[in-house]
Amino acid sequence: MQPVLPLSARVRRTDSATDEDDDDRFSEELVEAFLTAYTSPGDVVLDPFAGFGTTLVVAEKLGRRPVGLEILPSRVAYVRERLRDPSAIIEGDARRLGELDLPSVDFTMTSPPYMTRSDHPENPLNGYRTDDGDYGRYLDELTAVYASIGRLLSGPESRAVVNVANLRTDTGVSPLAWDVGAALSRVLAFDQEVVLDWADPEDWYTNDYCLVFQRR
């Protein structure tokens, strides 16, 4: 199954309503294309790093059942305002997802917080709020999150989509997409990558991808 993706829309935009300087979202069009390709009305759609709620809002609009986790209370409050059913967003840590009483998941799509291999002291999985970043631990913890998600996926048709880019740094390219792809392949089966051919790419990445996984 190959999704057809209308990717002319801009991926990043800033919404002053959130008063955030790192208000990076993916486009609603992108989420809609994946949901149309991979889900049906009534399906459960998970975003473990819900951010500003794009996945959840589009899922709700399309008659899917959204459920999301977000660690930062300010973002949880913002997403609650955007949803018809505010209980769809849970304030919590995706690293503890396995401890929650979540339903089985038909589809999951997210953009996790990013990290580079070097020169990145903040811990993305603490919402960049602590200075104990460690790239190996970051990849291991992300992998553990997806091991838990793999156990929740409802069947062989269920997909887990992860939006990651390879990041330009002062010292070269930090291949986050390759590293996340290899790490998550330890717990899920890699299905395909979708290269996001944005009309107006930015210079902080070489390419932007949606990596598509399924249950092992």
Ligand X SMILES: C[S@@+](CC[C@H](N)C(=O)[O-])C[C@H]1O[C@@H](n2cnc3c(N)ncnc32)[C@H](O)[C@@H]1O
Does position 133 bind ligand X by CB under 6 A?
no
* Binds ligand X (CB under 6 A): choice among 25, 64, 117, 215: 25
Nearest to 114 by CA among 172, 71, 73, 175: 175
Give whichever of 124 and 150 is closer to ligand X, judged by the CB atom: 124
> Binders of ligand X among 60-99, rule CB under 6 A?
69-72, 75, 93-95
What distance lies between CA 40 and its chain's CA centroid?
A: 20
Torsion of CA 59, 88, 184, 144, to 10 degrees: -170
Burial of residue 18, with CB atoms counted within 10 A of its CB: 0-12 exposed, 13-18 middle, 19 or more buried: middle
Does position 11 bind ligand X by CB under 6 A?
no
Does position 113 bind ligand X by CB under 6 A?
yes
Q: Which stretch binds ligand X (CB under 6 A): 49-57, 165-173, 188-196, 203-211?
A: 49-57
Does position 51 bind ligand X by CB under 6 A?
yes
* Binds ligand X (CB under 6 A): choice among 53, 66, 133, 150: 53
Per DSSP, the three-state class of 148 is: helix
* Binds ligand X (CB under 6 A): choice among 3, 9, 18, 24: 24
Contacts with ligand X: how many residues (CB under 6 A)?
Answer: 21
We find the least distance from the C-beta atom of residue 80 to ligand X, in angstroms, to be 14
Give whichever of 37 and 90 is closer to ligand X, judged by the CB atom: 90
Q: Please, are residues 107 and 155 in contact by the beta-carbon 8 Å criterion?
A: no
Rg of the chain (C-alpha set): 16
Tokens of 173: 């390219």
* Binds ligand X (CB under 6 A): choice among 7, 45, 54, 153: 54
Q: Please, are residues 113 and 128 in contact by the beta-carbon 8 Å criterion?
A: yes
DSSP H or E run through 76? helix 73-82
* Residues of this chain that bind ligand X (CB under 6 A): 24-26, 49, 51-54, 69-72, 75, 93-95, 110-111, 113, 125, 127
